[in-house]
Every structure is written in structure tokens, then in C-alpha cells.
Amino acid sequence: MIVTSATEAAPGRPANEDQVFRHGRVVGVLDGVTAPDLPTGCAHGPAWYVRRLVARLRESVDDEPGAVLTELLAQAIIRVRGDHPGCDLGDPSTPAATVCLVGVGADRLDYLLLGDSPLVADQGGHVAAFTDDRFDLAYASIRAEALRGDVPLGSAEHRARQRTAALRKRELTNTPEGYWIAAADPRAAANAITGSLPLTGPAAVRRAALLTDGASCAVDLFGLFDWAGLLDLVTEHGPQELIRRVRAAETADRDGFTRPRHKRHDDATIALCRFGRA
């Protein structure tokens, strides 16, 4: 497996709340969740949380190289709990992160998804996205209310709507009726979307891209290309080129009237894994 990756904070933002890593047979991208203007009970914040979760995932891989992805993630979440014992981990806005992991086995690629960080796979020329759509389903009506495209990004009214949306969203976080995400509750790992794709035979995975929503928006928000086109762009021109294209699209719709969204720019991350002769 050959892995190339890029990650970049949103322009003007001090910290990148995305992370990308490769450790042994495991590759992951994670996107820290920001709760605008809400107390979180945590003195550390989402950028710290995501960095800690990645550090603990690496340790979990070292400790149990053969463990399934759900077990690796559960152990990492439990360990991060111990990293901030003075914080209120029962707060509904405790720092959280989406997770997209792949683990390479002898003849298959396992994946784990939590939240809106998709996996795009090219299997023998057929390209498809694998997503955890529970967040989109649970959040659809809140999103529609918050993102009507009638007030500019960054305006007071836009910010007020984002805060209202965040308050409603957190009632759905890590509940069976809502959606699951990596935070302080290790049960999220067992509730992740998981599956396996072959690495041999006619449907063998040739390429797989792990994306945070700041990168997948090239397809599912801005419509710059389809998933196959995204894989081709990143294969031919590198992951940084995808981020460059996204920045241009974000800037072209500064106020978010054409593509209503929560923020003008988002942290963006992509890891491209290539297998065999791809």
C-alpha cells in the first residue's frame, strides 16, 4: 500500500482540527467537531482532542496489531478519557471527531466510518463512496433550517443560526435516535459503520481515498467532479491539488448564497491509498 496525503486548516483559522495518519496497516482521517460559542466542559478543545485520539489510536495499533478497527477505536477513546480527567466528559458538547479508518489485511481492506468523513473506493474500475449517512439523516431538518442561503456567511444572523443548530445537534449526538461520533463514549466504536472490501480478484480495491467533509465537499457540495473524477485528480495531481480546487470553489461563493454551508472555508484532509499495480 502506498499512501499520499494532505491536510490543511481553513484559511484564517489558527488550528487545523483535521488529522491524517498512517500507522502500520492502519490509515485514518479525523475531523474535530466544533460547537460554536457553546461551553464544552473541556479545557482542551477539538484540535487537542483529535491529536490525542490519533496518538492513542497509534498506541492501540502497536499494542494489538491484529485487533479489529472497532476495538482499536474503542481502546483509543477510553485512553483519551484518561488524558483529561479534570474535564466534564459528560458534557453534551464534549470534544468529538468524525472517523474514517481503513485497515489492510492479507486479502481485504476493512473500513470503519463515524460521521461525515467518507471513504471512496475504486474496485476494478467501479468507483463508489461509502458513507455513514446517519448524521445526514438525523441532521437534515436542522441543516435546512440553519442553511437557507439567504444571509451571508459570517453575518450575525448566520452565526446565530449556527449556534441554534449546534444546540439541537448535540441532543442527537451519540444517541440511538441520532448519530454516533468519536467523543468520550467508547460505545460509539461498536456503533460505527464497518465493512470489508476485497484486495484480490476482479473487484479488488485499486485505490481508496479517505476524506473529511472539507475535501469531499468538492463532489457532494460544490459538484466539481464525481467520485471517480476526484480519485483521478488526486492520483494524477496529488492530494494538495484537491484542496486547491476546493479553496477556489469556496472563494468563488464567499457568502454561501449558491452553496449554503456552515463556514466559508473548512479544514480539508485527504489520504489516498494505492494497492497493487494501481
Q: How far apart are CA 98 and CA 18, in angstroms?
A: 9
Q: Does 44 bind Zn ion (CB under 5 A)?
A: yes
Q: Which of 30, 87, 217, 221 binds Zn ion (CB under 5 A)?
A: 87
Edge-to-edge strand list for the sheet holding 268-274: 2-8, 268-274, 205-211, 119-123, 126-130
> Cα(177)–Cα(244) distance, rounded to whole angstroms?
37
Nearest residue (CB) to Zn ion, 45 versus 178: 45
* Alpha-carbon 116 to chain mean position: 5
Q: How far apart are CA 18 and CA 31, in angstroms?
A: 4
Q: Does 51 bind Zn ion (CB under 5 A)?
A: no
Does position 158 interact with Zn ion (CB under 5 A)? The reply is: no
Nearer to Zn ion, 46 or 260 (CB): 46
| Region binding Zn ion by CB under 5 A among candidate stretches 27-35, 36-44, 55-63, 161-169 | 36-44
Please choose, out of 80-88, 104-112, 117-125, 212-220, the segment that lies near Zn ion by the rule CB under 5 A: 80-88
- Alpha carbon distances (Å) from 140 to 15, 80, 262: 28, 30, 13
CB under 5 A: which stretch of 24-32, 38-46, 123-131, 258-266 binds Zn ion? 38-46
Around Cβ 60, how many Cβ atoms within 10 Å?
23
CB of 101 to Zn ion, least distance (A): 23
Report the C-alpha gap between 55 and 49 in whole angstroms.
10
Q: Which is nearer to Zn ion, 66 or 82 (CB)?
A: 82
Query: In this complex, which beta carbon is closest to Zn ion, that of residue 87 or of residue 147?
Result: 87
Out of 27, 42, 97, 209, which residue is the one contacting Zn ion (CB under 5 A)?
42
User: Taking the complex as a whole, how short is the minimal distance between the CB of residue 263 and Zn ion, in angstroms?
Assistant: 23
The type of residue at 113 is: L
Question: Does residue number 84 form part of the binding site for Zn ion (CB under 5 A)?
Answer: yes
Amino acid in position 26: V
For 276, left (φ over 0), alpha (ψ -120 to 50), or beta?
A: left
- Closer Cβ to Zn ion, 57 or 209, answer by number: 57
**Kind of pairing, strands 18-23 and 108-114?**
unpaired
- Rounded least distance, CB 27 to Zn ion, Å: 26
Taking the complex as a whole, how short is the minimal distance between the CB of residue 84 and Zn ion, in angstroms? 3
Residues found near Zn ion in the complex (CB under 5 A): 42, 44, 84, 87
